């Protein structure tokens, strides 16, 4: 890692470099690490590695396999939180290079775990090693883009984080195609698929690390005049990460992200089951052909949600450049709470189109929440340590990744155990999620400009290399 | 290599796989209707 090519000083853009080369570099990373959202395509084949055509004694259970994703998300948050400062110091190229090694290395080690049928090795590989790659890879291009696009930070972060949503759209069919290619009467083809994907993603992420540049000191876009005074929530100063952690705004935004993601993950995880149980006439299960058609339609619904999850990231984040970050989150929480509360009614009315419409808007705001938060942080804390602060905030995602599914599954099971019909068991869940969004709205409304006592001083700036 | 060529190549590099993913997803989503 001491190769000078990777050093921050060697990735400073020269004269004539177009800043529009940086979003594709960021997308090279995010389109790959976004594969994590498509990890569930491995669930079924991984649960029948021994039996191949059906689960056999000794095969892994689906809940045990589900922990791979949970571990990866937890390590994403931890790596982003503890590695954020290093990412700022090392520069995006070294960070993206490290992310490529960790993420693809995780897939390779995970592939070994599948080949040897050692679940702990898959946890270690994809979960821990891959999760570290996810965390470092997630924040490094985001903070770089914020610095290149001071005039449109929402568009910049939206572009990169859209890639994370788009990664699922690529990762799922790629994995399915590769498993089909490698499968045989004695193998599900999971291990060679993961190995191949590790190699492909390594190459793709390395291209991103090669392309990325940081702006030279004092650079600004043509015609852009940096604000000299703070306007509303948008500061003209900078706050270092250790100071940011002492501000109430950080914890309010942590709550904003946590509640938005908890609600989103909660409904995303049960979307497939929910549509099948709420619309039994559309999703018939009486013949093998009907079961197959229903499964395909439910998978299509989940795909549609992924599409809007991705589109919402760039749409809402770009929109926030015009209407402000606080107002964007007000829309997420107010409109979100109304839609969550209306979903059960659309199910009871048997209105599939309305149900789908509510769901895709909800998912667009779920994605938009992820994409707008770095720009919100940049508004409050400036650009200097935004990557490190963003990294710390992503622990909210890790917490929501555990809380969301647990909460939804618990509420649903509690309802069913107390005699509520399956189709109706979702109503309470959705009302609880709407309640969480109301709490999120309160957190968002409490956000005020950061007190100037936290702004970086000239002495701190010299010590931290800001000046 | 000019900036225009670099921009075209780099956007195609990420745009083609993304467009393929979107296309496959839309095809699958049509089974819903």
- Considering only CB atoms, which chain B residues are within 8 Å of A172? 21
In order, the DSSP letters of A291-327 are: HHHHHHHHHHHHHHHHHHHHHHHHHHHHHHHHH-HHH
pLDDT at A281: 63
The answer to whether A115 and A194 are in contact (CB under 8 A) is no
pLDDT at A85: 87
User: If you count them, how many residues does chain B have?
Assistant: 33
CB contact under 8 A, A18 and B32: no
Count interface pairs A-B at CB distance under 8 A.
Answer: 69
From A16, A21, A166, residue closest to B21, measured CB to CB: A166
Tens of pLDDT along chain A (467 residues)?
455 788 888 889 988 899 999 999 999 999 999 999 888 889 888 998 998 888 889 899 888 888 898 899 889 989 998 998 899 889 999 999 999 999 999 999 999 999 999 999 999 999 999 999 999 999 989 889 988 998 998 999 899 899 998 998 999 899 999 999 999 999 999 999 999 999 999 999 999 999 999 999 888 888 888 777 777 788 888 899 899 999 999 999 999 999 999 998 877 777 777 787 777 766 666 677 777 777 777 778 888 998 999 999 999 999 999 999 999 999 999 999 999 999 888 888 888 889 999 999 999 999 999 999 999 999 999 888 888 899 999 999 889 988 887 888 788 888 888 888 777 777 888 898 999 999 999 999 999 999 888 888 755 554 444 43
pLDDT at residue A458 in the model: 59
Judged by phi (left if over 0) then psi (alpha if -120 to 50, else beta), residue A183 lies in: beta
Nearest-Cα residue of chain B relative to residue A174: B21
User: Which residue of chain B comes nearest to A170, CA vs CA?
Assistant: B21
Q: Collect all residues of chain A within an 8 Å Cβ-Cβ radius of residue B16.
A: none
Closest CA to A115 of A38, A39, A187, A60: A187
DSSP code at position A290: H
pLDDT at position A466: 47
- Across-strand partners of A231? A234
pLDDT of residue A348: 84
Sign of CA dihedral A387, A393, A395, A401: negative
pLDDT at A14 (0 to 100): 87
Phi, psi of A187 (to 5 degrees): -150, 145
So what's the pLDDT on residue A462? 45
Q: What is the pLDDT of residue A390?
A: 92
d(CA A392, CA A380): 15
Give the pLDDT confidence score for residue A465 in this predicted structure: 45
Q: In chain B, which residue's Cα lies nearest the Cα of A304? A: B29
What is the helix (H) or strand (E) element at residue A239, kind and residue range? none
The interface predicted TM-score (ipTM) is: 0.95
Domains and their CATH numbers in chain A: 1-219 (1.20.1250.20), 230-467 (1.20.1250.20)
Phi, psi of A184 (to 5 degrees): -150, 175
How far is A365 from A354, CA to CA, in rounded Å?
Answer: 17
Per this entry, what is the length of chain A? 467
Would you give the end-to-end CA distance of chain B in angstroms?
Answer: 47
Q: Give chain B positions within 8 Å (CB) of A303.
A: 25, 28-29
Q: What is this structure's pTM?
A: 0.88
Q: How far apart are CA A443 and CA A447, in angstroms?
A: 7
- Considering Cα of A76, then A79, then A81, then A86, what sign does the dihedral take? negative
Q: Closest partner residue to B32 among A17, A27, A297, by Cβ?
A: A297
Q: What is the pLDDT of residue A284?
A: 63
């Amino acid at each position: 890692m001491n190769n000078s090519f990777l050093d921050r000083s060697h990735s400073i853009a020269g004269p004539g470099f177009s800043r529009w080369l940086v979003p594709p570099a960021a997308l090279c990373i995010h389109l790959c690490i976004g594969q994590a959202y498509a990890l569930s395509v491995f669930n079924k084949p991984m649960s029948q590695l021994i039996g191949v055509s059906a689960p056999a004694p000794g095969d892994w259970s689906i809940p045990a396999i589900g922990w791979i994703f949970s571990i990866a998300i937890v390590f994403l948050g931890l790596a982003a939180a503890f590695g954020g400062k290093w990412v700022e110091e090392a520069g995006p190229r070294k960070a993206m290079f490290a992310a490529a090694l960790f993420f693809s290395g995780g897939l390779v080690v995970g592939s070994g775990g599948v080949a040897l049928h050692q679940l702990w090795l898959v946890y270690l590989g994809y979960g821990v090693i891959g999760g570290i790659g996810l965390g470092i890879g997630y924040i490094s291009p985001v903070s770089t883009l914020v610095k290149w696009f001071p005039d449109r930070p929402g568009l910049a972060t939206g572009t990169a984080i859209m890639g994370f949503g788009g990664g699922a759209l690529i990762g799922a069919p790629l994995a399915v195609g590769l498993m089909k290619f490698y499968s045989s009467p004695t193998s599900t083809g999971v291990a060679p698929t993961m190995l191949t994907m590790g190699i492909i993603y390594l190459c793709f992420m390395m291209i991103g690390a090669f392309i990325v540049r940081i702006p030279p000191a004092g650079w600004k876009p043509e015609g852009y005049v940096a604000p000299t005074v703070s306007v509303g929530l948008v500061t003209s100063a900078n706050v270092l990460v250790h100071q940011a952690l002492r501000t109430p705004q950080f914890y309010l935004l942590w709550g904003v992200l946590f509640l938005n993601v908890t609600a989103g993950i909660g409904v995303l995880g049960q979307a497939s089951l929910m549509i099948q149980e709420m619309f039994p006439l559309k999703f018939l299960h009486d013949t093998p052909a009907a079961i197959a058609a229903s499964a395909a339609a439910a998978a299509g619904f989940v795909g549609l949600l992924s599409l809007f999850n991705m589109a919402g990231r760039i749409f809402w984040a770009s929109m926030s450049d015009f209407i402000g970050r606080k107002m964007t989150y007000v829309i997420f929480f107010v409109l979100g709470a109304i839609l969550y509360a209306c979903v059960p009614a659309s199910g009871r009315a048997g209105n599939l189109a309305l149900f789908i419409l509510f769901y895709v808007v909800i998912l667009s705001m779920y994605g938009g929440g992820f994409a707008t938060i770095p720009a919100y942080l940049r508004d409050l804390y400036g650009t200097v340590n935004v990557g490190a602060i963003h990294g710390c905030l992503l622990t909210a995602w890790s917490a929501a990744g555990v809380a969301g599914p647990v909460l939804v599954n618990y509420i649903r099971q509690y309802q069913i155990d107390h005699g509520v019909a399956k189709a109706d068991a979702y109503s309470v869940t959705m009302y609880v999620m709407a309640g969480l969004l109301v709490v999120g709205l309160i957190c968002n409304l409490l956000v005020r400009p950061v007190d100037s006592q936290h702004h970086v001083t000239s002495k701190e700036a010299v010590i931290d290399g800001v000046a | 290599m000019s900036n225009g060529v670099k921009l075209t190549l780099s956007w195609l590099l990420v745009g083609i796989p993304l467009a393929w993913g979107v296309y496959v997803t839309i095809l699958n989503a049509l089974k819903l209707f």
